[in-house]
Amino acid sequence: MLSLASIVALLVAAFFGSYVIAFVRNVIATIGCGVRTVWIPFHHNHPIWMVMAPITRYWLERNLPIWIWKRIALTIGCHEMFMKREPYQDLKTDTYMLVTAGQNELWTSDPEVAYDILKRNKDFGQHPLSIKILSMFGPSLATSDGEQWSKQRKLITTIINERVSKVVFEESHRQANLMASELAHSDVGRQGSASLDGLKKIAINVLSRAGYGIPASWDGPTSEKYATTQSSSLRLDFVTCVKTAIDNLIIAALASPTLLLRLPAWLPGAHRLHMIGHAQQEYPVHARARVDEERAMLSDPAKQGSRNSIISQLVLNSDSNSSDSKSAGLTETEVFGNLFVFTAAGFDTTANALQFAIVLLAIHSDLQTWLYEEVLSIIGPYESNTEGSDDIEYAAIYPRAIRCQAFLMEVLRVHPPVVHSIRINKSGKTQIIKTSKHTIHVPVNTAIYTDSNAVQTDPKIWRGLNLPNFNGKTGAGVIETPEDVVERTQDEYRFRPGRWVMADNTLFKPPPGSFLPFAAGPRVCPGQKMAQVEFVGVIMTLLGRFKIVPNSRHGETERETRDRMQSILDDVRSELTIVMQKMNELDLRWEERVSV
C-alpha cells in the first residue's frame, strides 16, 4: 500500500507532468511555423499567474536577471502597454510565436500580418471569453460566426447610418453644453480630476438617446417613465440597469444573478453585487418593454421616418413574431444582444478617449490654440446669451472639423483604449499567412494578438509623417535602433495630431493594418463613425467655451507640472479599456474664454 507521502509525490508529479507534456506538445506543434519562437516552459494562462503577474511585475523587473525578465514579461497580461516595441527589437523580428505550457500565442507588430488576420473572418474567429461576455443578453454581430454573422452584418451596416450620426452629434453637443454649464456655475471646474467624471456622464447620456431613444438631462432621464421602474417588482430603472451592467461587465457576464442576489447583505461589496444581479435580471424586461413601445410606434408608417435611434432601427429590421435565428430579420434576442453590445462597446472606449484627450490638452496648450482656431472658423465664438443652444448642424460642421478629427486619431494612436485584438485559429487546420516578409504557419487553436501599441508606433509608417522640415529618413528607409524603443523620443512616440493633416487639408489614410483602434477587415467596429462624431461634438463644444489649465503645485515650474501630468497619463492599467491608475491625482481647471 502506498504511503501518504508517495501519494502526494505522485499527485505532484502528475500535476507538473501534465504541464511538461503540454509544453512539449506545443513545441512540436510550432516546428516550422516560419517565425521566431520564444519558449517559456510554464502555464502562463493559469489563473493564479494571470492574477499575480501584474501585481508582482515591478518586483520581478527589479530582481530577475534582465534576460529572464524580458522573457517572463511576455507572459504578463497587457505587457505591450509598458514594453511597446521592445520585444520585437530584442527578438529582431516583427512577429513571434510564444510557446508555453498554456495556449500558443502568435504576436505581431507587422501591419501586413495584422490586416491579413483581421480580414480572414472565417479562418480566425473570436475568442471564446469575448463571446461569453458580449452575449450575456443575446447573440449579436460581435459574437456570431458563419451565416448568422453574415445576416447580422448586412442588417447592422444599414442601421448605423448618417441619421444615427446626426443624432449622436447633436446629443453630444447638447450634453457637452450641460457639462459646460456645470463647470461654469459650480466648483466642479476647479476641483482637479472631478470634472473628468462628467465625460463619462456625457458618454452614457449620448448612448441613452442614440441607442435607446431615451433623452437624458444632466441629472437623469428627461422622461419620468424612464426614470422609474415600470413594475413594482423591478428595483432598477432602465438607464441604471444599462450603466450597472456596463460598469461591471465581467462580473455580470460570468456570475449567476441568482447567486449574486442570494449573497448576505453583511458581505463587503454586497450592495454592488446585488445591483449587478438586479441589472442582469431586469435588463431584458426593460429592453422588451422598449422594443414593444418602438414596435407600436413603427406600426404607424407616418412615424417611421422620425424614429432615428438604434433601437428603432433594430426593431424595424426585426421579425417581430420569429424566434428562428435563420429568419431574414433579427430575432428578439438578437435585438437585445446587439443593443447591449453597441452600448457596452461605445461607452468605455469613448469616455476613455475623451478623458485622455482632456488631459493631453491640459499638457499641450499649443494644441488647444490649434484646435480652437478651427472651432472659431466653423461655429464662431461662444456667446453667453445662447448658452445651452442645440442649434448645431452635423452635416455642415463635422466634415469640416479636420483638426478635431486628427486630434481624435492621434489620441487613439498613442493611447489606444484596447491594446490588442485577439483572434483564434478555430478552423480545425493549420492556417497559412503570406506577406511580403513572411510565410507563417498558424497551428490549430493558436491565439493571435495584433499589438496595437507596436503597430501604431511603427517608424516606417509614423516617423516624420507630415512633419515640416523633417530631415530624417521616412518610410521603408527607416532603421529602428534599440535606443529608439527604449528611450521613445523619436517622432513616432510623440503626441502630434498634425501628422494626420495632409497638405490639402484632408486626413491621412493609414496603410491597412497600421491603425487598429476600431479593428479592421469585415469585423471592423460598426460604431466607428458614432464614436468619432461624438468625440468631435464634445471637444468642439467644450473647447469653444473653455481653456483647460493644469494646476501647479507649490514651487513647481510649468515644465514640471506638465511632466507630472504626463507621468499620470502614462501610468495605466488594463480593465475593459486602458485607464489611468492615478486619475484622482490629476489637478486641472477649466477657465472660461473671454468673449471679445
CA distances (Å), 420 to each of 77, 205, 426, 500, 568, in order?
Answer: 11, 28, 19, 22, 22
- Same-domain status, 238 and 261: yes
- Residue where one domain finishes, among candidates 83, 117, 139: 139
163 and 228 in a single domain? The answer is yes
Identify whether 504 is part of a domain: no
Tell which of 347, 363, 384 closes a domain.
347
pLDDT at 367: 97
pLDDT at position 325:
52
pLDDT score of 41 more than 60? yes
Give me the mean pLDDT over the 340-346 stretch: 85
The verdict on 204 and 119 lying in the same domain is no
Check residue 327 and give its pLDDT. 58
Contact partners, residue 290, CB within 8 Å, separation at least 6: 212, 213, 238, 311
pLDDT given at position 92: 94
pLDDT digits (tens, 9 = 90+) for 44-75: 888 888 888 888 999 999 999 999 999 999 99
At residue 555, the pLDDT reads 87
Asked if the structure places residue 352 within a domain, the reply is: no
Which residue reads 499641450 in cell numbers? 364
Q: Do 321 and 180 have their domain in common?
A: yes
Q: Is the pLDDT of residue 128 over 60?
A: yes
Is 222's pLDDT higher than 50? no
> Do 285 and 160 share a structural domain?
yes
Q: Higher model confidence: residue 463 or residue 49?
A: 463
Percent of the chain with pLDDT over 70: 90
**Residue 454 main-chain phi, psi, to 5 deg:** -75, -45
Record the cell numbers describing residue 449, joined without a space: 494578438
Residue 304 lies in a domain: yes
As a whole number, mean pLDDT of residues 333-356 equals: 89
Query: How many domains would you assign to the chain?
Result: 2
Confidence of residue 322 (pLDDT cuts 50, 70, 90): very low
Considering the domain boundaries, does residue 278 fall inside one? yes
Write down the pLDDT at residue 130. Answer: 85
Which of residues 347, 376, 403 is at a domain's end? 347
For residue 301, the domain's CATH number is 1.10.630.10
Q: What is the pLDDT of residues 153-162, one digit of tens each?
A: 888 888 888 8
- How does residue 189 score in pLDDT terms, banded at 50, 70 and 90? low
259 lies in some domain: yes
Q: pLDDT digit string (tens) for 475-527?
A: 988 999 999 999 999 999 999 999 999 999 999 999 999 999 999 988 888 88
Q: Are residues 53 and 167 in the same domain?
A: no
pLDDT of residue 172 exceeding 60 = yes
* Same domain (yes/no): 156, 125: no
Lowest-pLDDT choice from 152-161, 168-177, 317-326, 511-520? 317-326
**Mean pLDDT, the chain, whole residue set:** 88
pLDDT at 568: 93
Mean pLDDT over 189-205 rounds to: 84
Residue 407 belongs to some domain of the structure: no
Rounded-to-integer distance, Cα 532 and Cα 530, Å = 6
Task: Clarify whether residues 93 and 190 are in a common domain.
Answer: no
Mean pLDDT of 302-325: 70
Rounded distance between C-alpha atoms, residue 57 and residue 33, angstroms: 30
Q: Are residues 116 and 174 in the same domain?
A: no
Report pLDDT for 578.
Answer: 87
Q: Judge whether 405 lies within some domain.
A: no
Q: Establish whether 525 is an annotated binding residue.
A: yes
Looking at the fold, whether 105 and 224 belong to one and the same domain comes out as no
Is pLDDT at 452 greater than 50 in this prediction?
yes
Max mean pLDDT among 168-177, 250-259, 345-354 falls in 168-177
Mean pLDDT of 340-359: 90
- Given a cut of 80, whether residue 326 has pLDDT beyond it is no
Indicate the burial class of 71 (C-beta count within 10 angstroms; 0-12, 13-18, 19 or more). middle
Q: Tell me what pLDDT residue 213 has.
A: 85
- The residue among 442 and 217 whose pLDDT is bigger is 442
Report H helices in 437-527: 452-455, 459-462, 482-487
* Model confidence pLDDT, tens digit, residues 423-438: 999 989 999 999 988 8
Question: Do 170 and 236 have their domain in common?
Answer: yes
Domain region containing 16: 4-139
Q: Does the pLDDT of residue 320 top 60, yes or no? A: no
pTM (predicted TM-score):
0.90
CB 165 within 8 A of CB 394: yes
Question: How does DSSP assign 64-108, residue by residue?
Answer: S-HHHHHHHGGGSTTTHHHHTTHHHHHTTSSEEEEE-SS--EEEE
Same domain assignment for residues 306 and 168: yes
**What does the pLDDT read at residue 47?**
85
Is the pLDDT assigned to residue 321 strictly greater than 50? no
pLDDT at 303: 62
What is the arithmetic mean of pLDDT over 327-344? 84
Contact 176, 537 (CB under 8 A): yes
**Is position 299 within any domain?**
yes
**230 pLDDT above the threshold of 80:** no
Structure confidence at residue 234 (pLDDT): 83
Confidence of residue 15 (pLDDT cuts 50, 70, 90): low
